[in-house]
Amino acid sequence: MRATLTSPRLLPWIVGSVVALLLPLVNPNSYQLDVLTTALLYALLALGLNLIVGLTGLLHLGYAAFFAIGAYTYGLLNIHFGWPFWIGWVPSAIVAGLFGVCLGVPALRVRGDYLAIVTLGFGEIVRIAFTNLDRWTGGPNGLLGIAHPHLWIPGHGVIDFGVSSMPYYYLTCLATALVAGVCVRLSRSRVGRAWVAIREDELAASCVGIPVLQLKLLAQGCGGAIAGLAGAIFAAKQGTITPDSFDFILSVMVLAMVVLGGLGSVRGAVIGALLLGSLPELLRGFEQYRMLVFGLAMILMMRVRPQGLFGGTSRGLKIFRRFHATTS
């Protein structure tokens, strides 16, 4: 398990980091950086959802709700109490994580498809609540005028991130790298192995003394907290958040990224998110056809490589269990 800097397992990460760091210097096109930042935010979300769906095997269809809660928490704290981003993301992550746990207490009484439906219901309720509680959330118009982050850099004084792309790119890069690191460590830890055990066989896991409910709640909490962090970054970057940004399609997109990358694989989640997150933008030349192509790509991908890019080789996943065997 000990990894040194030269170990082949770490090499892709190092190369990836160097490329990510140098990219804006080589290609300072702000539009493309913006697209990448969005894709990296997706990567954060995919990493969080991967803990819930990929490792623990809880099919979650309302993940955008955590993202929304994180974004609104930071937005409200910033607008009403002037909390700066660097402090504001902490309560965002905590509130979203706690929401995940609280939601998990009733929701985890049901399993499988039913859990998927309950989480879908929660996701919709949260979005509708943000739309209708207009006294606090600004209703359908959303929260306006959330401050962009400021950063003091020696020699440059205090800089405002403003609307330029590069600072947000580096910020999301940093966050994604840190979270990915945590996820890798987590997935190999005692907790991570227990999660996988629950996914593989819940009954057997509980029989060997794994506290199944607590660990499921922990997965929900960790996944929620990561989405909360992503939400805070999103709110700080946009300056404006509306409930429309957190719809069911977002939950589905993130799930598609996790599945594309391969369930349970950390690098799969990141790469899946980067691919799917930038694909609609890369297809912008086709403009109106891009979502059409996106849908088609999802269908074809499931036919050609159903286990995802980085998944399903070493472990037999319970979530991968086949339908009733049929004649072909």
In this complex, which beta carbon is closest to another protein, that of residue 199 or of residue 237? 199
Indicate which single residue of 82, 158, 299, 313 sits in contact with another protein (rule: CB under 8 A): 299
111 near another protein, rule: CB under 8 A: yes
129 near another protein, rule: CB under 8 A: yes
Indicate which single residue of 23, 94, 98, 117 sits in contact with another protein (rule: CB under 8 A): 117
Closest by alpha carbon to 148, among 36, 232, 243? 232
319 near another protein, rule: CB under 8 A: yes
Supply 17's token pair.
Answer: 């980091």
Indicate which single residue of 18, 19, 87, 110 sits in contact with another protein (rule: CB under 8 A): 110
Amino acid identity of 58? L
Distance CA 327, CA 257 (A): 30
CB atoms within 10 A of CB 134: 12
Contacting range for another protein; rule: CB under 8 A; set: 17-25, 51-59, 81-89, 211-219: 51-59
In this complex, which beta carbon is closest to another protein, that of residue 7 or of residue 327? 327
57 near another protein, rule: CB under 8 A: yes
The alpha carbon of 59 is separated from its chain's Cα centroid by a whole number of angstroms, namely 14
* Residue 153 bridge partners (DSSP): 157
259 near another protein, rule: CB under 8 A: yes
The residues, any chain, with a CB within 8 Å of residue 212's CB and separated by 6 or more, are 198, 202, 205, 206
Supply 321's token pair.
Answer: 């269990």
Burial grade of 289 (CB within 10 A; 0-12, 13-18, 19 or more): exposed
Shortest distance (Å) from residue 270 CB to another protein? 18
288 near another protein, rule: CB under 8 A: yes
Residues 193-232 that bind another protein (CB under 8 A): 199
Distance CA 93, CA 74 (A): 9
In this complex, which beta carbon is closest to another protein, that of residue 27 or of residue 132? 132
Distance CA 50, CA 32 (A): 26
Shortest distance (Å) from residue 134 CB to another protein? 9
59 near another protein, rule: CB under 8 A: yes
Contacting range for another protein; rule: CB under 8 A; set: 84-92, 153-161, 183-191, 315-323: 315-323
In this complex, which beta carbon is closest to another protein, that of residue 235 or of residue 254? 254
Q: Are 96 and 78 in contact (CB under 8 A)?
A: no
Closest by alpha carbon to 224, among 52, 62, 71, 97? 97
Binding residues for another protein, total number by CB under 8 A: 55
Which SS3 state, helix, strand or coil, does residue 107 take?
helix
Complete DSSP assignment for 37-73: HHHHHHHHHHHHHIIIIIIS----S-THHHHHHHHHH
Contacting range for another protein; rule: CB under 8 A; set: 65-73, 142-150, 238-246, 285-293: 285-293
Shortest distance (Å) from residue 320 CB to another protein? 4
Contacting range for another protein; rule: CB under 8 A; set: 18-26, 32-40, 116-124, 160-168: 116-124
Tokens 């009403």 correspond to: 80
Interface with another protein by CB under 8 A: which residues?
A: 53, 57, 59, 106-107, 109-114, 116-118, 120-122, 124-125, 128-129, 132, 199, 248, 252, 255-256, 259, 263, 288-289, 291-292, 294-299, 302-303, 306-307, 317-328
